[in-house]
């Protein structure tokens, strides 16, 4: 529509054509208003019943909410209108009439349950808050891309169909690949390492990861967006520094470019960019601090996973993003390097938000023999990983990296209760469509 004007740009004194959705109809008797909404805002369209053509009035007042219309008319100043201007229509064209019964109220005045909202996502995202989340999601991706470029990392895209899993602990989704067994990738882990070992050195990817998690929680998805980094000649400390800079860049981008969206979400006043550096606690200090908080029935001992209650209590105590470093080697995947002076300790780290884990990473084992030993120690067949390990025989530099859970970053940044709010069409135990 070449001659279309956005509602936000409709200035008094001209004739414009605006197009959008019927947000609301207010019939006051002799006069009626249709509030038309587009991506930039809303505008009032005035119908004076006595003074206008009957057909026009009939079309205007017969509109059902959420119908898509195009309105041509003069724009005039009107201090009582929500945006200070209104349109007196010359013509109203109905481009797509909406059913009179809607499954949810897109003005947001009436709350709907999350499953109803997800089943009707197009309608749901016409709410300002929904639109705000996805504008911010786009801004986060833009900001992290720019920050990665500043860190000399090249954007890559890796295959999502793979022959082996990498992340022990979560299950794989099997698929059939021309009669052979294959899987949906749990992580670009091995590919990003192979790319970092090439002359590219530093790479990043934002893409889907597939996890056949059995549990259904407000913080797990079966398909999530992973923001991955891998850098040659980086150790775990370098990787943590880059990780902090990317997280901070995401917050800064949102602070700078999404003021209206933060307001729509009602979090503009408390929104703050986290300060660097983030505190670092070793795994040992972490379990001691959780034990001292006295929130668990049983004291944690070396090698235990951190239970959610413990993580939550420690998060509240620390009150900001923090790293947990030096995890026991046995709880980290085979590709994570152990400390040379203590093989029970790994270089693996997690970045925590007070509410949950956001990132896992570490320095990688780049020595061929040690890598094979690590695979065997975790009960994996080195033969199955030959496509990956072979590169380690042809000059693999020391390297390190990490992955941020994209939706968890959005969820924690925007104080969302459920991770599904941060995904257009979430995949979980129940949900395969839309
Ligand atoms: P990990 O398995 O810890 O590490 O995943 C990295 C981050 O991804 C997010 N995440 C998820 N988010 C939502 N739903 C899920 N089911 C889910 N699973 C993971 C979390 C998590 O911290 N290859 C390593 C990373 C690396 O070492 O570079 C990996 O995948 O925020």
State which ligand 1 atom lies nearest to the alpha carbon of 220.
14
CA-based torsion, 117, 118, 120, 123: positive or negative: positive
Q: Which of 165, 215, 224 to mutate to test the pocket of ligand 1 (most atoms within 8 A of CB)?
A: 224
Rounded to 5 degrees, φ, ψ at 152 are 65, 30
> Using 50, 70 and 90 to split pLDDT, how confident is the model at 334?
very high
Q: What does the mean pLDDT of the chain come to?
A: 96
Q: Which CATH superfamily is domain 7-96 in?
A: Nucleic acid-binding proteins (2.40.50.140)
State which ligand 1 atom lies nearest to the alpha carbon of 192.
28
Tens of pLDDT along 26-44?
Answer: 999 999 999 999 999 999 9
Q: Could you give the residue range(s) of every CATH 3.30.930.10 domain in the chain?
A: 122-279+320-422
Compute the distance from residue 98 Cα to the ligand 1 centre, in Å.
41
Q: In whole angstroms, what is the distance from residue 70 CA to residue 192 CA?
A: 48
Q: Which of 217, 360, 410 to mutate to test the pocket of ligand 1 (most atoms within 8 A of CB)?
A: 360
Tens of pLDDT along 133-153?
Answer: 999 999 999 999 999 999 999
Q: Which is nearest to 259 in space by CA: 267, 60, 200? A: 267
Select the more confidently predicted residue: 106 or 423: 423
Catalytic one among 252, 284, 357, 373?
357
Residue nearest to atom 13 of ligand 1 (CA): 220
Q: Could you give the residue range(s) of every CATH 2.40.50.140 domain in the chain?
A: 7-96
State which ligand 1 atom lies nearest to the alpha carbon of 409.
31
Tell me, yes or no, if 219 is annotated catalytic.
Answer: yes
- Mean pLDDT of the 99-105 span: 95
Cα–Cα distance list, 116 to 104, 273, 299, 428 (Å): 8, 34, 42, 15
State which ligand 1 atom lies nearest to the alpha carbon of 336.
27
Tens of pLDDT along 375-406?
Answer: 999 999 999 999 999 999 999 999 999 999 99
Residue nearest to atom 27 of ligand 1 (CA): 361
> Using 50, 70 and 90 to split pLDDT, how confident is the model at 106?
confident
| b/e map 19-55, b = 16+ CB within 10 Å | bbbbbebeeeeeebbbbbbbeebbbbbbbebeebeee
Express as a percent the part of the chain with pLDDT over 70. 99
State which ligand 1 atom lies nearest to the alpha carbon of 166.
23
State which ligand 1 atom lies nearest to the alpha carbon of 358.
31
Q: Is 224 in the pocket of ligand 1 (CB under 6 A)?
A: yes
Tell me, yes or no, if 360 is annotated catalytic.
Answer: yes
Cα–Cα distance list, 227 to 100, 144, 155, 406, 407 (Å): 42, 9, 11, 6, 10
- Mean pLDDT of the 196-224 span: 96
Tell me, yes or no, if 150 is annotated catalytic.
Answer: no
Tell me, yes or no, if 357 is annotated catalytic.
Answer: yes
> Using 50, 70 and 90 to split pLDDT, how confident is the model at 169?
low
Region of poorest pLDDT, from 11-15, 65-69, 316-320: 11-15
CA-based torsion, 377, 382, 387, 389: positive or negative: positive
Residue nearest to atom 8 of ligand 1 (CA): 405
Residue 108's pLDDT is what? Answer: 81
Q: Which is nearest to 19 in space by CA: 40, 34, 32, 37? A: 37
pLDDT reading at 330 higher than 70: yes
Compute the distance from residue 374 Cα to the ligand 1 centre, in Å.
20
- CATH architecture classification, 122-279+320-422: 2-Layer Sandwich (3.30)
pLDDT reading at 268 higher than 80: yes
Tens of pLDDT along 171-181?
Answer: 899 999 999 99
Q: In whole angstroms, what is the distance from residue 57 CA to residue 219 CA?
A: 50
Catalytic one among 37, 321, 408, 427?
408
- DSSP for 225-241, please give it: EEEEEEEET--HHHHHH
Residue 1's pLDDT is what? Answer: 74
Catalytic one among 76, 213, 252, 373?
213
Q: Which is nearest to 363 in space by CA: 387, 343, 335, 329? A: 335
Q: Is 400 in the pocket of ligand 1 (CB under 6 A)?
A: no
Contact 31, 48 (CB under 8 A): yes
Sheet of strand 161-162, all strands in order from the earlier edge strand to the far edge: 161-162, 180-184, 174-177
Tens of pLDDT along 112-121?
Answer: 999 999 999 9
Compute the distance from residue 404 Cα to the ligand 1 centre, in Å.
7
Tell me, yes or no, if 393 is annotated catalytic.
Answer: no
Q: Is 213 in the pocket of ligand 1 (CB under 6 A)?
A: yes
Residue 166's pLDDT is what? Answer: 78
Q: Which is nearest to 346 in space by CA: 373, 325, 370, 376? A: 325
Compute the distance from residue 403 Cα to the ligand 1 centre, in Å.
6
Residue 279's pLDDT is what? Answer: 98
Compute the distance from residue 239 Cα to the ligand 1 centre, in Å.
16
Return the C-alpha torsion angle 298, 302, 307, 312, nearest 10. Answer: 100
Q: What's this model's pTM, rounded to 2 decimal places?
A: 0.96
Residue 167's pLDDT is what? Answer: 79
């Amino acid at each position: 529509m070449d001659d279309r004007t956005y509602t936000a740009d409709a200035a008094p004194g001209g004739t414009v054509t605006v197009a959008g959705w019927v947000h609301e109809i207010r019939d006051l008797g002799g006069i009626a208003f249709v509030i038309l909404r587009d991506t930039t805002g809303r505008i009032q369209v005035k119908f004076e019943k006595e003074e206008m053509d009957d057909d026009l009035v009939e079309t205007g007042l017969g509109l059902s909410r959420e119908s898509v219309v195009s309105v041509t008319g003069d724009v005039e100043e009107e201090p009582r209108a929500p945006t200070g201007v209104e349109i007196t229509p010359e013509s109203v064209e109905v481009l797509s009439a909406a059913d009179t019964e809607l499954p949810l109220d897109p003005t947001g005045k009436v709350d709907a349950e999350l499953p109803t909202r997800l089943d009707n996502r197009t309608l749901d995202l016409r709410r300002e808050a929904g639109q705000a989340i996805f504008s911010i999601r786009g801004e986060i991706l833009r900001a992290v891309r720019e920050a990665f470029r500043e860190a000399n990392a090249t954007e890559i895209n890796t295959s999502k169909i793979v022959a082996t899993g990498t992340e022990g602990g979560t299950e794989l989704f099997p698929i059939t690949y021309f009669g052979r067994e294959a899987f949906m990738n749990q992580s670009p882990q091995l590919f990003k390492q192979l790319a970092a070992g090439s002359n590219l050195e530093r790479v990043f990817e934002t893409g889907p990861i597939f996890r056949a998690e059995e549990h259904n929680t407000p913080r797990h998805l079966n398909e999530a967006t992973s923001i991955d980094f891998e850098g040659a000649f980086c150790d775990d400390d370098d990787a943590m520094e880059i990780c902090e800079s990317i997280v901070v860049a995401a917050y800064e981008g949102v602070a700078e470019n999404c003021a209206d969206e933060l307001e729509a979400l009602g979090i503009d006043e408390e929104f703050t960019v986290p300060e660097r550096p983030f505190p670092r606690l070793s795994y040992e200090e972490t379990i001691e601090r959780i034990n001292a908080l006295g929130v668990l029935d049983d004291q944690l001992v070396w090698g235990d996973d951190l239970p959610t209650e413990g993580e939550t209590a420690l998060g509240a105590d620390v009150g900001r993003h923090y790293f947990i470093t030096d995890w026991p080697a046995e709880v980290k995947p085979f590709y994570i390097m152990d400390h040379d002076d203590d093989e029970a300790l790994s270089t693996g780290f997690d970045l925590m938000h007070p509410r949950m884990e956001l990132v896992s990473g570490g320095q990688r084992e780049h020595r061929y023999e040690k890598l094979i030993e690590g695979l065997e120690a975790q009960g994996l067949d080195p033969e199955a990983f030959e496509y990956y390990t072979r590169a380690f025989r042809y000059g693999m530099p020391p390297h390190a990296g990490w992955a941020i859970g994209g939706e968890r970053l959005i969820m924690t940044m925007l104080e969302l209760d459920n991770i599904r709010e941060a995904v257009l069409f979430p995949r979980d135990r129940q949900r395969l469509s839309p």
